Amino acid sequence: MGKFIRFILQTIGALTILGALMGMGILVFAGYWMNVNDTPTKADYIIPLAGDGHRTLKAIELYREGYAPTILLSNAKKYPPKPLKKLHWKMGYPNYTREEYYDLLLPLLGAEKANIASFGNGHISTVEEAEALRFFLNGTTPKLLIVTSPYHARRAKMIFEEILPECEIAVTVTNIGAFETQWWKDQISAQNLIMEFAKTMHYMLGGVFRSTDLPA
C-alpha cells in the first residue's frame, strides 16, 4: 500500500513539474506568437479599434497615405467620468464631444476632409466590436484594414477573421504598446503580454465579455 501511495505522489509530482515546464515554454514562445503586424494594403475601410487613441492617430496616418477612402470608428461603451476627470473639467481641461474632438484633431493631422463613419452602440469587448461591425456591413464583404495596439493584434485578428470570414482582413499596429519577443526582460512588455495572453486564452476557451454582463 505504501509503495502504491508513493507511486501516486511521485506521478503527481512529475506531472506538476512537467506542467510547469510546459507552461513556461508556452509563455516564452508567446512573445513570438503574439507578434502580429500585417503589411498595410488597400482597403475599403480603415478601422481603429476602441480602447486607445493612438489607434485613431495611426488610422488617420494610413488614410493620408491613401490606404482607404473611409475611417470607420467604433462606438464602444462610454463609461461615466471618474472623479479625477470631473476635477480636470473644473480646472479648465477641455470636455469635447466626439464631433468637436475630431473637428479639432483632423486639421492638425492634415486630414480635415477625411470621410468618417461609425458603427456599434456601447460594445465592451473585441468580440462585441466585431459583431457590431458585421451588423453594420449588412452582408457586404469589403476589405478591412484594422488598426490596433501591438499587444492586442493576435487576438483581434483571430476574432475578426472568425466573425467576418468572408472579408479580407489585415491587422496593422501602432508604435505605442510594442513589446519585446523576450518580454520577461522588460517590465512594460511583461505587463502587456501576460495580460493580453490571458485574454487570448480566455477567448480561445470560449470566454466572451458582453455588455449584457454589466449592471443596468
For residue 16, what pLDDT is reported? 52
Counting residues of the chain whose pLDDT is more than 90, the rounded percentage is 55
Residue 178 banded pLDDT, cuts 50, 70, 90: confident
For residue 14, what pLDDT is reported? 47
Q: When comparing pLDDT for 143 and 30, which is higher? A: 143
Alpha carbon distance 37, 42 (integer Å): 15
What mean pLDDT value characterizes the chain?
86
| pLDDT one-digit tens code per residue, 42-97 | 999 999 999 899 999 999 999 999 999 999 999 999 889 999 999 999 999 999 88
Q: Looking at residues 29-43, what average pLDDT do you find?
A: 88
Q: Which domain holds residue 51?
A: 45-178
Per DSSP bridges, beta strands 115-123 and 70-76 are parallel
For residue 142, what pLDDT is reported? 96
Q: Is residue 32 part of a domain?
A: no
For residue 176, what pLDDT is reported? 86
Alpha carbon distance 178, 172 (integer Å): 12
Q: Is residue 27 part of a domain?
A: no
* Cell numbers for 144: 478591412
Alpha carbon distance 171, 149 (integer Å): 10
Alpha carbon distance 181, 29 (integer Å): 8
Q: Is residue 137 part of a domain?
A: yes
Dihedral pair phi/psi, residue 71, rounded to 5° = -100, 125
Taking CA atoms, 203 is separated from 34, 147, 153, in Å, by 14, 20, 14
Is the confidence at residue 21, as pLDDT, over 60? no
Q: Is residue 115 part of a domain?
A: yes
For residue 42, what pLDDT is reported? 96
Q: Is residue 93 part of a domain?
A: yes
Global pTM?
A: 0.84
**Domain CATH number, residue 130:** 3.40.50.620
Q: Looking at residues 121-133, what average pLDDT do you find?
A: 95
Number of domains in the chain: 1
For residue 97, what pLDDT is reported? 87
For residue 114, what pLDDT is reported? 86
For residue 19, what pLDDT is reported? 43
Q: Is residue 63 part of a domain?
A: yes
Alpha carbon distance 29, 31 (integer Å): 5
Dihedral pair phi/psi, residue 46, rounded to 5° = -105, 125
SS3 71: strand
Alpha carbon distance 152, 82 (integer Å): 25
Is the confidence at residue 34, as pLDDT, over 90? no
Q: Is residue 66 part of a domain?
A: yes
| pLDDT one-digit tens code per residue, 133-172 | 999 999 999 999 999 999 999 999 999 999 999 999 999 9
